[in-house]
Amino acid sequence: MNNLLKKIKIKDMELEGNIFLAPTAGYSDKPFREICSDFGSFLNFTEMVSTEALIRDNLKTVTLLQKASNEKNYAIQLFTGNPDSAAKAVEKILDFKPSLIDINCGCPVPKILKSGAGSELMKTPKKIRDIVKSVTNSTDIPVSVKLRSGFTSESINFLECANYAIEGGASMISLHPRTRSQGYSGTADWENIKTLKNDVSVPVIGSGDLYSPYDAERMLRETGCDGVMFARGSFGNPFIFKETIELLKYGKIKYIPDADQKFKTAYRHLKLSVEFYGENIALKEIKKHLCAYTKGLSGAKDIRDKLVRCNTLDHYEEVFKTLLF
């Protein structure tokens, strides 16, 4: 198992490990990325950001790009259907000094598809090449592409899209092996990750149905992919990074967080969110995270009921006092 945890080279950048936090709308913000870095994630991806909004200097979008204080490496994910827009957006993000720029070619959300971005791009693979090329021509920062298997089960074309992306200069490909039509239903076809790894020369990162360290170990072993990225499996569970690293390193998991550790981490997450967003916005954003931390705990339903009723920081402080002390 030891050889499954390894360094990974993406163009001129070398990462110390191959366990990542995936780009996830509404979740992979700066506070959560800081928490995941605490527990060992080697590369974190921002939420996807619109190139058009970046060009217009949209304040909310620019906020999404901020790097956490403990992030040694982080990737900014862009979505666009326009090569010129992609190139202009690169100028806006260089000051943030990302380690990697990722192009989203997999998002299944209708609003994103209507803009010609996300998995809509898989209908026109040459456009993926053009967008990637516009970015690689604008910066020496490594560029990666995140794909799905295809738009529908009748149009599985991830290999074609990956090869066009590489032709445009992509230095890494990530694959969530579901189609756009599947959304997040059904199961991810890991065999597609294996097929991709056997077909391309750049690093391949797998995602999809990774809910435990054992899932990550199995994906690495069965597909031969170079690394994995956790998305839904990390919600309320940033501990999964430390656990996975231990499993791959030692063949067993030594660290198992108890309820106290989960509550302390949830409380820190709350404080980081308030510090980052301000109280009003933070208290709206944090509820889904805090509820996720209670999963599997004794009395979880009662705890969630208390948390969702909180509408001020002082109220949250009162609840956490009962949980932590």
Condensed to tens digits (0 to 9), the pLDDT of residues 97-152 reads 999 999 999 988 889 998 899 999 999 999 999 999 999 999 999 999 999 999 88
pLDDT band at 2 (very low <50, low <70, confident <90, very high): low
Q: What is the pLDDT of residue 146?
A: 98
Question: Residues near 116 by Cβ (< 8 Å), separated by ≥ 6?
Answer: 80, 81, 82
Q: What is the pLDDT of residue 133?
A: 98
Backbone phi, psi, residue 54, to 5°: -65, -45
> Per the structure block, which two tokens stand in for 188?
């991810």
Active site residue 310: no
CB-CB contact of 234 with 36 (8 Å): yes
What number is the average pLDDT over the span 57-74?
Answer: 90
Residue with tokens 């604008």: 138
Please give the DSSP secondary-structure letter assigned to residue 131: H
Please give the DSSP secondary-structure letter assigned to residue 47: P
Is residue 325 scored above 90 in pLDDT?
Answer: no
Is residue 1 scored above 90 in pLDDT?
Answer: no
Q: What is the pLDDT of residue 61?
A: 87
d(CA 236, CA 72): 22
d(CA 258, CA 262): 6
For 216-267, the DSSP string reads HHHHHHHH--SEEEESGGGTT-THHHHHHHHHHHHSS------HHHHHHHHH
Q: What is the pLDDT of residue 177?
A: 96
Is residue 216 scored above 80 in pLDDT?
Answer: yes
DSSP SS3 for 13: strand
C-alpha count within 13 angstroms, C-beta hemisphere, residue 194:
10
Query: What single letter denotes the amino acid at residue 4?
Result: L
d(CA 12, CA 140): 9
Pairing of strands 172-179, 100-105: unpaired
> Per the structure block, which two tokens stand in for 260?
């106290």
Q: What is the pLDDT of residue 288?
A: 94
> Per the structure block, which two tokens stand in for 130?
């053009």
- The three-point CA angle 216-20-264 to 5° equals 95
> Per the structure block, which two tokens stand in for 30?
């700066």
Query: For 167-179, what is each residue's pLDDT tens digit?
Result: 999 999 999 999 9
Question: Residues near 49 by Cβ (< 8 Å), separated by ≥ 6?
Answer: 61, 64, 65, 76, 77, 78, 79
**Which member of 107, 161, 291, 310 is catalytic?**
107
Query: What single letter denotes the amino acid at residue 68?
Result: A
What number is the average pLDDT over the span 260-282?
Answer: 95
Name the least confident of 38-52, 196-210, 216-230, 305-319. Answer: 305-319
> Per the structure block, which two tokens stand in for 169?
């200069």
Maximum distance among all Cα pairs of the chain, rounded to whole angstroms = 58
pLDDT band at 185 (very low <50, low <70, confident <90, very high): confident
Domains and CATH numbers, the chain: 2-250 (3.20.20.70), 259-324 (1.10.1200.80)
Query: For 217-254, what is each residue's pLDDT tens digit?
Result: 999 999 999 999 999 999 999 999 999 999 999 999 99
Across-strand partners of 206? 175, 228
d(CA 47, CA 188): 21
d(CA 85, CA 82): 5
Above pLDDT 70, what percent of the chain?
A: 99
Is residue 69 scored above 60 in pLDDT?
Answer: yes
Query: What single letter denotes the amino acid at residue 241?
Result: F
What number is the average pLDDT over the span 61-66?
Answer: 88
What number is the average pLDDT over the span 47-68?
Answer: 91
Across-strand partners of 205? 174, 227
Query: For 274-296, what is each residue's pLDDT tens digit?
Result: 999 999 999 988 999 999 999 98
Query: For 40-55, what is each residue's pLDDT tens digit?
Result: 999 999 999 999 999 9
What is the residue-averaged pLDDT of the chain?
94
What number is the average pLDDT over the span 60-75?
Answer: 92
